[in-house]
Amino acid sequence: MEDLREKRIWLTGGTGFLGQAVVAELKKQQFHNILVTTHEEVDVGDVDQIRHYLKEAQPQAIVHLAAVVGGIGANRERPAEFFYENMMMGTQLLHESWKSGVEKFVTIGTVCAYPKFVPIPFKEENLWDGYPEETNAPYGLAKKMLLVQGQAYRQQYGFNSIYLLPVNLYGPGDNFDPASSHVIPALIRKCLEAVESGSEVVEVWGDGSPTREFLYVEDAARGIVAALRYYNGAEPVNLGSGMEISMRALIEIIAEYTGFRGKLSWDTTKPNGQPRRCLDTSRAEQEFGFRATTDFREGLKHTIEWYKTQV
């Protein structure tokens, strides 16, 4: 299989949470021509800017990481934006990449593309077995259409487009903004602020019953780079850790590690989101040798310690 390490690799969203980890992993694996652009440098929602950059930089492979993302609250408040922005970024970029002769295109999808009710663990062939969980369906479907597009371009044009489905990520460098953060950084921030203020109560959404799987960001980066180098298949591939934990157990661990000893108040008027999430990760291991290695509790400790240095 061709070694891509001397190729020009363009990362959209390369300065973001996951993007920075992917850049670090590419450098670790001795990639020498990494192209990273900010939104201000290249707006990948603007087809003219895409065309200009492709012509100017002539990347040979693209890892499309840029996305408009957020937790349940942000998805409920901005469903149109989450649908339109993610759909247009990916669709235009993939199309123009094919037109310009890009050799390989890696789309980073989302676990939110899966139907609301799926047998555990989620297998890639379950993707089309139903409608996604309502609170994040617009986002999940927009990203899911990029799988359809990539497979169609492969079938008609022979375009080497692959599609990865990472589960919920966490780790140092995550987004801790309460307006848009995902569950782990949101809970870490709530608990630490409660400790600092002396508050006896931390409010948590839902009833604690849903389960989630989490993947440490450095593990995710290893998986993405492995797929970039070694996977050229048409079928989507899950990237996960294979673990499953309830929201109730998660917040209890975070409370312990942050030193919060007060009461957890469950607001059952707020949505739970998808009932369960846990991926079958066997395809990633079979196809390109990826397996997550970071212990979840250790990853949480690293994340909490990193955030403490930022506040």
User: Where do the domains of the chain lie, and which CATH numbers do they carry?
Assistant: 4-170+214-242+276-294 (3.40.50.720)
pLDDT for 70 equals 80
Residue 114's contacts (CB-CB under 8 Å, 6 or more residues apart) are: 122, 126, 127, 132, 140, 165, 274, 277
pLDDT for 1 equals 61
Helix or strand run (H / E) with residue 237? strand 237-239
Residues classed as catalytic: 139
Residue 182's contacts (CB-CB under 8 Å, 6 or more residues apart) are: 69, 70, 71, 168, 169, 170, 174, 175
pLDDT for 69 equals 81
Tokens of 176: 């801790």
pLDDT for 73 equals 81
Q: Could you tell me whether strands 168-170 and 104-108 are parallel, antiparallel, or unpaired per DSSP bridges? A: unpaired
Q: Are 11 and 22 in contact (CB under 8 A)?
A: yes
pLDDT for 68 equals 86
The C-alpha atoms of residue 70 and residue 78 are separated, in whole angstroms, by 9
Which of these, 142, 80, 124, lies nearest to 233 by C-alpha position? Answer: 124
Q: Phi/psi of residue 202, each to 5°? A: -120, 125
CB atoms within 10 A of CB 305: 11
Q: What length is written for the chain?
A: 311
Query: pTM for the full model?
Result: 0.95
Per-residue pLDDT of the chain in tens (311 residues, 90 and over written 9): 678 999 999 999 999 999 999 999 999 999 999 999 999 999 999 999 999 999 999 999 999 999 988 877 888 899 999 999 999 999 999 999 999 999 999 999 999 999 999 999 999 999 999 999 998 999 999 999 999 999 999 999 999 999 999 999 999 999 999 888 889 999 999 999 999 999 999 999 999 999 999 999 999 999 999 999 999 999 999 999 999 999 999 999 999 999 999 999 999 999 888 899 999 999 999 999 999 999 999 999 999 999 999 98
The C-alpha atoms of residue 267 and residue 250 are separated, in whole angstroms, by 16
The C-alpha atoms of residue 113 and residue 130 are separated, in whole angstroms, by 10
CB atoms within 10 A of CB 81: 15
